[in-house]
Amino acid sequence: MVKRIILFASGSGTNVENIIKYFKRNPRVEVVNVFTNNPKAGVIGLIRPMKIPVNVFDKAQLNNGLLNHEIALLKPDLIVLAGFLLKIPLGFITAFSNKIINIHPSLLPKHGGKGMYGDRVHQSVKYAGDKETGISIHFVNEHYDKGSIIFQAKTKIGEEDNIQHIANKVQQLEYKHYPEVIENLLFP
């Protein structure tokens, strides 16, 4: 049976693009749809050549259950958040229990929580003087960045590393590991 994944993003969407490319060569996995809450998100233009349907929704639809209904009809095996910035409400989590995962650009529980995304996370790491950072892939529950951790990978950072260097190192870990972790969840 072909496994069906749905991707959620709010921003530039480079992880979404990377995941789509990775699974293009795997006939057992279909990226069914990409969902975004941001009509101006870079992800929309970035993946246009890939011919995967993109659905734009608003916060109200996420919170009032309309989106649950729409997504249930697509029968996803996994819902993958990649740079998705809205909080997932409990009703949505219950509807897709243990089927929603997220990637966070730090070694959780450090540098997570509300308002912690993108460069803000790397700034927090830098100002804390941490000697290492990394990625955390975790199941999503009703609290920001608090669901059980599936996978982490680390990278060292030195005093000479600025925010952009840290972001680049973390991004490389994301591209390398997120598709593989998704594949391992789909085919345990």
Rounded to a whole number of angstroms, the minimum distance from the CB of residue 163 to ligand GAR is: 12
Instruction: By CB under 6 A, tell whether 124 contacts ligand GAR.
Output: no
Which residues lie across from 7 on neighbouring strands?
34, 80
Rounded to a whole number of angstroms, the minimum distance from the CB of residue 83 to ligand GAR is: 3
Amino acid at residue number 178: Y
Amino acid at residue number 129: G
Contact set for ligand GAR, span 63-82 (CB under 6 A): 82
How far is it, in rounded angstroms, from Cα 106 to Cα 134? 5
**How many residues at the interface with ligand GAR, by CB under 6 A?**
16
Instruction: By CB under 6 A, tell whether 22 contacts ligand GAR.
Output: no
Instruction: By CB under 6 A, tell whether 12 contacts ligand GAR.
Output: yes
Residue from 138, 176, 131 nearest 158 by CA: 131
122 is catalytic: no
3-class SS at 112? coil
How far is it, in rounded angstroms, from Cα 117 to Cα 140? 15
Instruction: By CB under 6 A, tell whether 134 contacts ligand GAR.
Output: no
Contact set for ligand GAR, span 143-162 (CB under 6 A): none
Rounded to a whole number of angstroms, the minimum distance from the CB of residue 186 to ligand GAR is: 20
The three-point CA angle 184-186-188 to 5° equals 55
Footprint of ligand GAR (CB under 6 A): 9, 11-15, 82-83, 103-105, 116-118, 121, 174
Catalytic amino acids?
Answer: 104
